[in-house]
Amino acid sequence: MEVPLKLFAFELLYLNGKSFIKLPFIERRMTLERSIKKNKNVNEQVIVVDHQEEVSQAERLEKIFDLAVHKKLEGVIAKKIDGVYQPGARGWNWIKYKKKLFSEN
């Protein structure tokens, strides 16, 4: 039995011996997009650059979040465009935006 496998990449930290950690997110993202070989048939593509959208309105972020949840995803990751990557830390350069799952007893 074959199991389709895809890697959805949204950020680049290291490539060809060069660290991108201290560069702003936008530079890391642009290099990622240039580095991934795109296949005309996305179903045959193993590494896919995940969707990204710059937003400035809370309503648009809510819409993107709702679409992600509708697709059975946990939520979205929001990043500062000029934020640097800090291994092992969150802070305000990026946040996970997801619904709290709980059950009422």
- Structural domain boundaries, residue 73: 7-98
* pLDDT given for residue 88 in this prediction: 75
The answer to whether position 1 is within a domain reads: no
- Say whether pTM exceeds 0.85: no
pLDDT tens for each residue of 2-12: 777 888 888 89
The answer to whether position 71 is within a domain reads: yes
Q: Is 57 exposed, middle or buried (0-12, 13-18, 19+ CB in 10 A)?
A: exposed
The answer to whether position 84 is within a domain reads: yes
Residue 88 sits in a domain whose CATH number is: 3.30.470.30
The answer to whether position 60 is within a domain reads: yes
The answer to whether position 16 is within a domain reads: yes
* pLDDT given for residue 3 in this prediction: 72
pLDDT tens for each residue of 77-91: 888 888 888 877 767
pLDDT tens for each residue of 29-49: 999 999 988 777 777 788 888
The answer to whether position 86 is within a domain reads: yes
Total count of domains within the chain: 1
